[in-house]
A and B are shown apart, each in its own frame.
Chain A
Amino acid sequence: MIIQEGMTIQRKLEILSDAAKYDVACTSSGVDRKGTGTGMGNSLACGICHSFSEDGRCISLLKILFTNECIFDCKYCINRSSNDVVRASFTPTEVCELTMEFYRRNYIEGLFLSSGIMVSPNYTMELIFDALRMLRDEYQFSGYIHCKTIPGTDPALVEAIGWYADRMSVNLELPTASSLKQLAPHKNRKNILKPMRQIQLRRESNREYLGIYGGMKYPNEINNDTVYNKAFSNFNNRLNRLPKLCDTKKDNDINNLITSTSDITPYVKPPVTRSRYVPAGQSTQLIIGATDESDYHIMSVSEALYDGFDLKRVFYSAFMNVNNDSSLPSTQNGPPLLREHRLYQADWLLRFYGFRINELLSERTPNFNVLLDPKCDWALRNLDKFPVEVNKADYYTLLRVPGIGVNSARRIITARKSATLDFKDLKTLGIVLKRAVYFITCKGSMMYPIKLNEDFITRELLSVKDKLPFGIERDITYKQLSLFDDVSFHPDEEVKGMLLGGVQ
């Protein structure tokens, strides 16, 4: 291991931002907080992107590792202990200075602090805790802080950090326990899920507590309040009352954790304050394409995490073989970006569109269609539910129409209160009809005479170019698809052969 003494801050930043770039989550959303009037910083629920790096990803937070020294040896990670890379560590003061000065110049929305594992998880997390506490208390920073939790950290530390961070996340990394064991031998799934559950429960009790008092009472007035103590004692009972998590039977870890009266009892009684515990909630990250789990499996895990752990986001990161490890798939032709894109699309369908994963995928078709986005694909398999009358359908029915998103559906609902909508009006509203046109009626009639025939609509939809993010197009052999124009093919069967199923 190369450790250089007396490194400049610039060199450290170079190493530790470079090492942090593979973490996907860089959102600053979820908290609305006014400035204090004395310190520095506020926070907007919608989040703000401050720049976009060359890869087109948003830069919202100062995303750095506290250290890239690491005692773990995860095969996919550039900082694994067996790699011979330059190692560096910040001090808590350096992290604070950088954050404050960047924030002042409006470069960033806050801090995203992740880390390799120096000495032990607790040792590292204590340093991170020092940095956060210093930033909040001494530097009076009230901007956004996202903090990674290292699996295996003492629950008392997790508890303490949560009062200083806006969002916390533990990376699940791989969808199954077995692949985690295979690629990250030092991590175990339980250690990842435990802090997640702990934070979730603390957030719930915190919200319940603030809800009771409206978050507005002064702390000393309610110090010995029985209602408050009751809310806290409920805390443990609720472990049993939580819903069963996951319907993928294989997922024993998640199920065990939910069903057993586990030992995740927080050490400390929560401080009686008005402050909020991890107000922006938790997120996690999954690596896509390093192991052979199907999309169905990945999305089932996501669904379980949203339902059971109250996660705000699950991020998907297309696997890149940064270590050229021969036991992992090669990514010479670029990371599986299309697959990542489809997973994000489906993720949105779960979170905002009221879909369940069983509607989108099944054991029989475990991967997403390469050619069509998940919603189009679903609609084609469920043509009996269409067409939908724009002037009558409820919000969630509208949301299921391909081409109609959250904004469009809301606009339709608002606009039709004052007028009966026609296709012309839909255009005025800015609703994109190129896909929707096959699935909707206005005042009882479709825009053109259209057969509700699966083959026909599939063909038409394929001619509408799927709006993929820039740069993904080149992964797909689009041109060859014209061959299929004359073939009657069913997305379920024929297309299955075309599924990239891992896009490697």
Chain B
Amino acid sequence: MNNLKIFQCENSIDGIFSAIYQAWSSGYGHANIRIEEQSENDNYTNITLFSDYIIVKTDFEQAMKVSQSIKSKISLEAYEMVCRVALSNYQSKGDLIYRFLILGFHVGSKVVGYLSNEVVNRVFKLNRYVNGEAHHIMGFLRFSEQENGILTSVIHPKNNILTLITPHFADRLPMERFVIIDGNRNICSLHLPGRPWVLAEVPNIKSTYHETIMDDNNDEYEELWRVFFDNIAIKERINPGLQRNNLPIRFRRDMTEFIPRENIQIL
């Protein structure tokens, strides 16, 4: 029987790496294997006929082995690329990583330069896409100060970039207590002064949570920021198209200066 073997795994780096480990050691042959990760809302994609489904239990030891061999047999650069792909919202990223690694273990570190190869090219583009969004969010993220002094922020990124941006903020604001909430994935990262930051799940987060925190506090600096934002534009050069191109609408729901205020008092 030459049925396609589909390895189903968790949608996480560890999950995908476990699946790759098990698929590789299964001996079915690369052509007969497909890796399928859960989509972000925990559903598997369409079930394919005439194929065997193998449920992969995430195994950290196996995942570690895979990441170790990527680092030692291919390169650190390739490992980072693969990780970013695993954090992306691409549909069949698990299988893409599998194909990338097949080539990578074959040719070694120079695989990242095989840009005209379709698999490598896809990995390259996804990598750029995830990096790009992380870079955007680093700029567009807004903290608002709560009454207890904690800085809170909500983001809605397309890719799971929370782990990519938090180190940046931990380095930048070492003396602050802050929370960054990923409103799309119900996860958040927490930072306390003098400690390493942590990732946590936040179940049952209201979609309007952000609006509530924004409304509850009367932070004068938020007001000052809006004043600055409105004044810095040169009226003769108003150009909403360019603004939209540089700062897509989807980011604006989480940005202080774009959240409409009912009671703005203008002097």
**Using a CB–CB distance below 8 Å, which chain A residues touch chain B?**
8-11, 13-14, 17-18, 20-22, 34-42, 44, 46, 48-60, 62-64, 98, 101-102, 104-107, 109, 143, 318, 320, 331, 334-335, 337, 411, 414-415, 417-419, 421, 425, 428-430, 469-471
By the criterion CB–CB under 8 Å, are B144 and A105 in contact?
yes
Complex interface bits, B219-243 against A, C-beta within 8 A gives 1, otherwise 0: 0111111011101111111111111
Which residues of chain B are within 8 angstroms of A14 by Cβ–Cβ distance? 227, 231, 267
Which residues of chain B are within 8 angstroms of A102 by Cβ–Cβ distance? 221, 224-225, 228
By the criterion CB–CB under 8 Å, are A13 and B224 in contact?
yes
By the criterion CB–CB under 8 Å, are B173 and A40 in contact?
yes
By the criterion CB–CB under 8 Å, are A53 and B174 in contact?
no
By the criterion CB–CB under 8 Å, are B224 and A335 in contact?
no
8 Å CB contact of B243 from A37, A55, A60, A107: A55
8 Å CB contact of B110 from A13, A51, A334, A418: A418
8 Å CB contact of B237 from A50, A337, A428, A430: A337
| Apart from A106-B142, A429-B116: 15 A-B pairs, beta carbons within 8 A | A18-B232, A21-B232, A40-B173, A46-B135, A55-B234, A55-B237, A55-B242, A55-B243, A58-B246, A59-B232, A64-B228, A105-B144, A109-B139, A425-B116, A469-B239
By the criterion CB–CB under 8 Å, are A107 and B113 in contact?
no
B118, CB-defined interface residue at 8 Å? yes
Which residues of chain B are within 8 angstroms of A10 by Cβ–Cβ distance? 220, 223-224, 227, 267
By the criterion CB–CB under 8 Å, are B234 and A105 in contact?
no
Closest B residue to A413 using CB positions: B113
Which residues of chain B are within 8 angstroms of A50 by Cβ–Cβ distance? 139-140
8 Å CB contact of A335 from B142, B145, B153, B236: B236
Instruction: Compute how far the CA of A471 lies from the CA of B115 in the bound complex, rounded to whole angstroms.
Output: 35
By the criterion CB–CB under 8 Å, are A417 and B232 in contact?
no
The SS class assigned to the B binding surface is: helix
Instruction: Compute how far the CA of A7 lies from the CA of B255 in the bound complex, rounded to whole angstroms.
Output: 28
B257, CB-defined interface residue at 8 Å? yes
Instruction: Compute how far the CA of A48 lies from the CA of B141 in the bound complex, rounded to whole angstroms.
Output: 11
8 Å CB contact of B140 from A22, A39, A51, A414: A51
Question: Nearest chain B CB to A149's CB is how many angstroms away?
Answer: 22
By the criterion CB–CB under 8 Å, are B243 and A17 in contact?
no
- In this complex, how many residues of chain B approach chain A with their Cβ under 8 Å: the count is 57
8 Å CB contact of B236 from A13, A34, A44, A331: A331
Which residues of chain A are within 8 angstroms of B243 by Cβ–Cβ distance? 52-56
By the criterion CB–CB under 8 Å, are B241 and A49 in contact?
no
Instruction: Compute how far the CA of A33 lies from the CA of B234 in the bound complex, rounded to whole angstroms.
Output: 32
By the criterion CB–CB under 8 Å, are B234 and A56 in contact?
no
Instruction: Compute how far the CA of A419 lies from the CA of B174 in the bound complex, rounded to whole angstroms.
Output: 47
By the criterion CB–CB under 8 Å, are A428 and B173 in contact?
no
By the criterion CB–CB under 8 Å, are B113 and A415 in contact?
yes
Question: Nearest chain A CB to B161's CB is how many angstroms away?
Answer: 14
Closest B residue to A7 using CB positions: B267
By the criterion CB–CB under 8 Å, are B228 and A471 in contact?
no
B102, CB-defined interface residue at 8 Å? no
By the criterion CB–CB under 8 Å, are A53 and B232 in contact?
yes
By the criterion CB–CB under 8 Å, are A105 and B125 in contact?
no
8 Å CB contact of A417 from B113, B220, B233: B113
The SS class assigned to the A binding surface is: loop
Instruction: Compute how far the CA of A264 lies from the CA of B160 in the bound complex, rounded to whole angstroms.
Output: 54
By the criterion CB–CB under 8 Å, are B118 and A13 in contact?
no
Instruction: Compute how far the CA of A143 lies from the CA of B171 in the bound complex, rounded to whole angstroms.
Output: 11
Instruction: Compute how far the CA of A266 lies from the CA of B242 in the bound complex, rounded to whole angstroms.
Output: 44
Which residues of chain A are within 8 angstroms of B234 by Cβ–Cβ distance? 21-22, 55, 57, 320
Which residues of chain B are within 8 angstroms of A42 by Cβ–Cβ distance? 168, 171-172
By the criterion CB–CB under 8 Å, are A320 and B113 in contact?
no
Closest A residue to B169 using CB positions: A106
Instruction: Compute how far the CA of A50 lies from the CA of B172 in the bound complex, rounded to whole angstroms.
Output: 15
Which residues of chain A are within 8 angstroms of B55 by Cβ–Cβ distance? none
Question: Nearest chain B CB to A331's CB is how many angstroms away?
Answer: 7
- With A52-B246, A55-B243, A58-B246 known as contacts, the answer to whether A418 contacts B221 (CB < 8 A) is no
The 10 A-B pairs with the shortest beta carbon distances in the complex, nearest first, are A56-B242, A470-B241, A415-B115, A53-B233, A54-B233, A471-B239, A425-B116, A55-B237, A470-B242, A52-B247
Question: Nearest chain A CB to B14's CB is how many angstroms away?
Answer: 29
B60, CB-defined interface residue at 8 Å? no
By the criterion CB–CB under 8 Å, are B171 and A418 in contact?
no
Instruction: Compute how far the CA of A104 lies from the CA of B141 in the bound complex, rounded to whole angstroms.
Output: 11
Which residues of chain B are within 8 angstroms of A57 by Cβ–Cβ distance? 233-234, 237
Which residues of chain B are within 8 angstroms of A49 by Cβ–Cβ distance? 139, 246
A-B contact pairs, 22 of them (CB 8 A): A11-B267, A20-B232, A21-B232, A38-B174, A48-B139, A51-B139, A55-B237, A56-B237, A56-B241, A59-B229, A104-B151, A106-B142, A106-B153, A107-B256, A320-B234, A331-B236, A414-B115, A415-B116, A425-B116, A428-B121, A469-B242, A471-B242
Complex interface bits, B97-112 against A, C-beta within 8 A gives 1, otherwise 0: 0000000000000100
Closest A residue to B248 using CB positions: A52
Instruction: Compute how far the CA of A85 lies from the CA of B126 in the bound complex, rounded to whole angstroms.
Output: 52
Which residues of chain B are within 8 angstroms of A411 by Cβ–Cβ distance? 115
B138, CB-defined interface residue at 8 Å? yes
Question: Nearest chain A CB to B117's CB is how many angstroms away?
Answer: 8
Which residues of chain B are within 8 angstroms of A8 by Cβ–Cβ distance? 267
B200, CB-defined interface residue at 8 Å? no
B114, CB-defined interface residue at 8 Å? yes
By the criterion CB–CB under 8 Å, are B142 and A470 in contact?
no
Which residues of chain B are within 8 angstroms of A18 by Cβ–Cβ distance? 231-232
By the criterion CB–CB under 8 Å, are A9 and B135 in contact?
no
By the criterion CB–CB under 8 Å, are A430 and B139 in contact?
no
- With A53-B232, A469-B242 known as contacts, the answer to whether A40 contacts B113 (CB < 8 A) is no
By the criterion CB–CB under 8 Å, are B257 and A51 in contact?
yes
Which residues of chain B are within 8 angstroms of A56 by Cβ–Cβ distance? 237, 239-243, 245-246
By the criterion CB–CB under 8 Å, are A418 and B140 in contact?
no
